[in-house]
Amino acid sequence: MRKYNRYLVDEIGNTYERKNQYLLEIATLQEEMEKARGEEKKALKEKVQELLKNKSKHPYHQAYQAYEEAKALFWKGLKKEGNAYESTLEKDLSKNVKILKVKDFKAKKKETFFKNYIDLGYEATYYYEEAKLEQKYYPEIISNYIQYQMHLKEAKEQRQKLSAEEEAQAKVRFNQYKQEKKEELRNSIESLKKKRKEKLISDKALKNGKNELKHRYKKALTLKALEAPKKANEELIKNLKHELKEKPKQLKKTLNADIADKRRKIPIEVEKTKPIIAYSTVFLPGMGQLLNKQFVKAGLFLLASFFIYFAAIPYALGYGNYQGDGISGLITLAEGAPRVYTSMMFLIEGILAIFLVLIAIGFLGISLKDIKSVEEKSIRGIRPKNWFETLENIKQEGFPYVVSFPALFVIIFIVVVPVITTLMLSFTNMDPQHQSKFSWIGIDNYRTLILGEGLAGSVFWQILGWTLVWTFVATTFAILIGFVLALITNHERILGKKIFRTIYLLPWAVPAFITILFFSIMFSPNGALTDIISNVFGERIIVKHSTNLTRLTLIGLQGWLGSAYIFLLTTGVLQAIPSDLYEAAEIDGATIWQKTRRITMPIVLFQTAPLLITQYTFNFNNFSIIYLFHGGGPFNPSRYGNLAGGTDILVSYIYKLTMVNQYQAISAAIILFVSLGVMFFAYLGFRNSKAFKEERL
């Protein structure tokens, strides 16, 4: 048995007793049933069932049916009366004025009709209050239209009457005024310059004074130009057009806001007690909104229906694919397909199909939630929002979601889809023998890496070890250099700070690849630095032929390149440290080292810790310096095979596996392995930094 409440609530939370006497009677009996016992409860239940059975005979239902019939005839007749009234209006009235006059006419008719049915239901009450508001605003809006249109017409007629002689005289007066003001400006500027020479004002005061005088000069000319009849008339017409456009629009918006306020305070009565529309239209977004009489919203959700049934589902089933077979293509990976079809296309299009289906499911979920929410609220008594209310709600509360949706779609198709493709590729056997057609092999690639098997897996742990050493040592070295240089140049006794700071920023100012290639040439077998080192040690030492020397060189080079950013970062923080802290420490007898350890380092680390952590993650994937300096060499086939060199880090190793040797599947496994590790350690670093713990940088 359906359960009704005696009271309704509006959007604000106010309660109202039902005007629907039929439902009120049922609700009252149901309340009494909850308190009754035995035969009394049975008798009340029979009364409720009798009411439900004989609904059509209930006096209120009959009265309401008569109201519905009268309302239908009224709406039909109102349209004809409106057309007849429009034909009686003056011919020279603008289209907007005619429309508003007809609306005002209809509002009067609505008020008269629905006033007779206020006690019958809240629907009639709402229409009555709406009609009163329309009668309050429409005359004012019409008056504004007529007034501004009349003034605009007069201004345009005035423009036709302007004489060339008056315009010429105005131009002469303007030119004379301009010369006077220009001379006045020149004298004022000279006066300021004289004060500056006498050192009565500063350079900044001189500059600001000049700008202020020029601003006043331009403003005076603009105002004087308006005295010309033609210019004044143009400005008047421009302002009237703006007022004609904006003033009525603002009044209409106020009317809509007042109507929305009435909608929030006047409940709605419905006989249903469950959101049946939501569940019956769940697979057709837009239909439920249409049945809820939210027509604009229905149109928007119908677009989602078109996307679901004419794009997402067909694509998922293989229709419209370039080569793939929709979601099923993920299973087959082009097995048995023609030779021109590739497994990679089947994989990518299968993943796209899954995401399109997920987006479609998302639209279905959003639509269901929206319809269900509207229905559940209407059952309680809250009137559904009209488009004006919905739009205002979107502007105020839904704005973050609206601006985020485009970015979400971009992230899905530019970031997430490639990441998922890489993840799924790592479970295949795509290698030099399986480029066009490959198949699923499960976790074999991960097992190969973890156990160090095969050509690719045998060197994985060696390269991983060097990558970790490289990341920690090279980054720490760069941070140390930058920090020490910043401390030195920030010391009050150091002279020529600007020169030193300029020099220390050069590694950052010069493109890194130029510096790397320069040192690569200098350390070549016939390079200048190779000759210098050989002369110093008395024997031929070629850095690029030694793995350890090359690694040390790379660490030193990265220390130099990375130090400039750390230097700039640290310098900014050091200059912001209050000198009072150091003065207080000196009074307490602190040494330079104690001040550095207790004041400088904690403040610098607090401010820069998150950015320093990003330096470690950057160097973990610093492909350019490894590849440009020596291509990952020197090469030792007996230890690294032909897939990697002695200084290759994981990112350059992945590059060689993928681009040079075509081991895409195992490269994808390494990428996922590395990415998870980098994200995990970066998260740990950020989480443990004091700046993030205290939620400020």
245 and 314 share one domain: no
Residue 1 has what pLDDT? 57
Rounded to 5°, the CA angle 664-668-671 comes to 135
- pLDDT over 80 (residue 618): yes
pLDDT band for position 680 (cuts 50, 70, 90): confident
Average pLDDT, the chain: 89
Q: Is 637 or 313 the better-scoring residue by pLDDT?
A: 313
Residue 97 has what pLDDT? 92
404 and 489 share one domain: no
418 and 283 share one domain: yes
CA 301/CA 299 separation, integer angstroms: 6
AA letter at 554 = L
238 inside domain: yes
Contact (Cβ atoms closer than 8 angstroms) between residue 466 and residue 649: yes
Residue 455 has what pLDDT? 78
Q: Which of 24-28, 418-422, 454-458 comes out lowest in average pLDDT?
A: 454-458
Domain end position, chosen among 208, 233, 265 = 265
Helix (H) or strand (E) holding 16: strand 15-17
Pseudo-torsion of CA 78, 79, 83, 84, nearest 10°?
A: -30
226 and 315 share one domain: no
Residue 697 has what pLDDT? 41
AA letter at 480 = L
582 and 450 share one domain: yes
Query: 3-state DSSP call for residue 302?
Result: helix
Domain end position, chosen among 143, 175, 210 = 143
CA 408/CA 442 separation, integer angstroms: 31
Domain that holds residue 641: 446-693
Q: What is the pLDDT of residues 2-59, one digit of tens each?
A: 688 899 999 888 999 999 999 999 999 888 888 888 888 889 888 889 888 888 999 9
Residue burial 31-49, b: 16+ Cβ < 10 Å; e: rest: eebeeeeeeeeeebeeebe
Residue 127 has what pLDDT? 95
434 inside domain: no
| Number of domains making up the chain | 4
Q: Which of 247-251, 386-390, 585-589 comes out lowest in average pLDDT?
A: 585-589
Residue 688 has what pLDDT? 62
Lookup result for tokens 């007069």:
154
400 and 299 share one domain: yes
35 inside domain: yes
672 inside domain: yes
372 inside domain: yes
pLDDT band for position 686 (cuts 50, 70, 90): low
Q: What is the pLDDT of residues 222-252, one digit of tens each?
A: 888 888 888 888 888 999 899 988 999 999 9
What is the DSSP code string of 102-125? HHHHHHHHHHHHHHTTTTT-HHHH
Q: What is the pLDDT of residues 568-582, one digit of tens each?
A: 888 888 888 887 887
How many angstroms separate the Cα of 524 from the Cα of each of 310, 368, 521? Answer: 62, 68, 5
- Mean of pLDDT values over 104-126: 95
Cis check: omega of the bond before 275, within 30 degrees of 0: no
- Mean of pLDDT values over 284-294: 93
152 inside domain: no
Q: At what angle do helices 399-411 and 387-396 cross, to 10 degrees?
A: 70
CA 200/CA 265 separation, integer angstroms: 67
Contact (Cβ atoms closer than 8 angstroms) between residue 28 and residue 44: no
Q: Is 138 or 576 the better-scoring residue by pLDDT?
A: 138
259 and 371 share one domain: no
- Mean of pLDDT values over 558-565: 92
User: Can you read off the two tokens belonging to residue 466?
Assistant: 């060097």
79 inside domain: yes
Which among 503, 519, 579, 601 is positioned nearest to 553, based on CA atoms? Answer: 519
Domain end position, chosen among 265, 295, 312 = 265
CA 174/CA 168 separation, integer angstroms: 10
Q: Is 311 or 169 the better-scoring residue by pLDDT?
A: 311
Q: Is 378 or 605 the better-scoring residue by pLDDT?
A: 378
Query: 3-state DSSP call for residue 325?
Result: strand
Q: Is 52 or 681 the better-scoring residue by pLDDT?
A: 52
- pLDDT over 90 (residue 281): yes
Read off the pTM.
0.79
Which among 514, 546, 689 is positioned nearest to 611, based on CA atoms? Answer: 689
360 and 489 share one domain: no
25 and 54 share one domain: yes
Residue 168 has what pLDDT? 86
Do you know the residue count of the chain?
697
- pLDDT over 60 (residue 139): yes
Contact (Cβ atoms closer than 8 angstroms) between residue 378 and residue 270: yes
Q: At what angle do helices 623-630 and 547-576 cross, to 10 degrees?
A: 140
Contact (Cβ atoms closer than 8 angstroms) between residue 552 and residue 605: no
- pLDDT over 80 (residue 495): no
User: Can you read off the two tokens belonging to residue 648?
Assistant: 């290759």
- pLDDT over 80 (residue 653): yes
317 and 200 share one domain: no
Say which CATH number the domain at 643 has. 1.10.3720.10
Q: What is the pLDDT of residues 348-382, one digit of tens each?
A: 999 999 999 999 999 999 999 999 999 999 999 99
569 and 512 share one domain: yes
Q: What is the pLDDT of residues 513-557, one digit of tens each?
A: 899 999 999 999 989 999 999 888 888 899 999 999 999 999 999
490 and 458 share one domain: yes
Which among 405, 328, 314 is positioned nearest to 357, based on CA atoms? Answer: 314
Q: Which residues contact 363 (CB under 8 A, 6 or more apart)?
A: 285, 301, 304, 307, 308
61 inside domain: yes
